[in-house]
Amino acid sequence: MTPNLKVYQAFDRALIAEIPADDAAVLEHKLDVAAKAYADRSAWLPTHRRMAILRRVSELLSENRDRFAIMIAREGGKPLTDAIAEVTRGIDGLVNAADELRNFGGKEIPMGLTAASTDRWAFTTKEPIGVVAAISAFNHPLNLNVHQIAPAVAVGCPVIVKPAATTPISCIEIVKLFWEAGLDERWCQTFITEDNALAESFATDQRVAFLSFIGSAKVGWYLKSKLPPGTRCALEHGGAAPVIVDRSASIDAIVGTIVKGGYYHAGQVCVSVQRLFVHNDILSNFTDALAVRVASLHVGDPTLKETEVGPLILPRETDRVASWTKEATDAGARQFGGGRLSETTLLPSVLLDPPADAKVSRLEVFGPLTCVYGYSDLNEAIRIANSLPYAFQASVFSTDITVALKAAKHLDASAVLVNDHTAFRTDWMPFAGRRQSGYGVGGIPWTMEEMADDKMVVLNGVS
């Protein structure tokens, strides 16, 4: 008998709920149900019906905004203010998917360009790719599920979503809203497990046409290597986002934005500000201002409105970040702030000049920590920023347009934010990691494209 999955509050490790976990037999049933739903083309939902369901889920989520926000704060540890913002994004994301269907279609393919193609008319249509297996991460337990489920429903794919074992409740509850909105359960199911072998079986099953994975690079690339021939995928991992601060930047104007980008959700964001390259002319003043602002952040229980930084998701993650910090300080980095509030909660800190070979300089920290490095030559700062084997979003702060444009051109990133932090995102913009940071393009409209196939129809005898 499969044991129940225990869900704990991230902040104090209090038990929230025990949820029935799925075993191999349940997984087989759910995959079979989804595959049969897709195979029956005569029963595919018409576009207007999918649009109506998405809009209705958005309305239901809006009615349940506070309930979902508290849920996110409890199971994921995201501060309540940010959890409310996450629900607001989810509400809009559902409408975004519905609206995208107004322009989601094929196009005419020119014929008659050669003698052999005369008297023909060709056009493409969009079809759902098939069963979608979605594996999600803990750090945005509602909105990441919206990013995976809403595009699948929009284009007409049956979707089975496996949430992170630490944060399954938000996923279960948003799927219930889809059912309440009128979507047959065959088209949207959950898969609840903390069994990695079973999760691998799910992701690599022959009946899955598209794997949507959000999580660690190690797991994502491994699963991609195990996919059957023909299975497509999208992988969203992370990085160690670089920020260049030019000497022309106003410290007072930018430090708040940088702190938000670095310490939002205790740094547990795949594009969180991590490596700050600051011109030597302003390095001392910038570091002091950053340290003061970081020290003023309110750390504690994420369910309280005044909290700005909450816990990490698990005690072992807190231990890891603390050990990486100690490695850097033992090697000569200067630390501002820091310390431990509880088993899962670290006080935010800043490291000045950690060595290039320290873990905090080479790997994704995923914790409430930023690193500051001085530079004098912009080209060298860009070279170091680009030196890691992954790349996602990057930033440059400057009032000198020449510096800003040079950084935007030469930084290796899928997006360069000018005078904004690296964690900025809207759900209708493309969102993609380069190199080891990911594969494919996220963002609701782009995910819809990836979950759909083009079919061409050619009519002969048209005169």
Phi/psi for 33 (5° steps) reads: -60, -45
Band (pLDDT 50/70/90 cuts) for residue 397 is very high
For 178-185, which contacts have Cβ atoms below 8 Å and span 24 or more sequence positions?
Answer: 178/53, 178/57, 178/149, 178/153, 180/60, 181/53, 181/54, 181/56, 181/57, 181/60, 182/49, 182/52, 182/53, 182/56, 183/53, 183/153, 184/37
What is the pTM (predicted TM-score) of this model? 0.93
Q: How would you class 320 by CB atoms within 10 Å of its CB: exposed for 0-12, middle for 13-18, buried for 19 or more?
A: middle
Q: List residues with catalytic annotation.
A: 236, 270
Average pLDDT, the chain: 95
Q: Which residues contact 372 (CB under 8 A, 6 or more apart)?
A: 276, 278, 283, 286, 287, 290, 350, 351, 352, 353
Domain with CATH 3.40.605.10 in the chain: 5-237+437-460
397 sits in which H/E element? strand 393-397
To 5 degrees, how large is the angle CA 116–CA 121–CA 126? 125
For the structural domain made of 5-237+437-460, what CATH number should be given? Answer: 3.40.605.10
**Polymer length of the chain:** 463
Band (pLDDT 50/70/90 cuts) for residue 461 is confident
Q: b/e per residue, 300-317, with b = 16+ CB within 10 A?
A: bbbbeeebbbbbbbbeeb
How many CA atoms within 13 Å lie on the side-chain side of 362? 8
Band (pLDDT 50/70/90 cuts) for residue 433 is confident
Q: What is the pLDDT of residues 49-100, one digit of tens each?
A: 999 999 999 999 999 999 999 999 999 999 999 999 999 999 999 999 999 9
Domain with CATH 3.40.309.10 in the chain: 241-427
What pLDDT, on a 0 to 100 scale, did the predictor assign at position 336? Answer: 96
d(CA 301, CA 284): 33
Residue 1 has pLDDT above 70, yes or no: no
Q: What is the pLDDT of residues 98-154, one digit of tens each?
A: 999 999 999 999 999 999 999 999 999 999 999 999 999 999 999 999 999 999 999
For the structural domain made of 241-427, what CATH number should be given? Answer: 3.40.309.10
Q: What is the pLDDT of residues 249-291, one digit of tens each?
A: 999 999 999 999 999 999 999 999 999 999 999 999 999 999 9
What pLDDT, on a 0 to 100 scale, did the predictor assign at position 411? Answer: 96
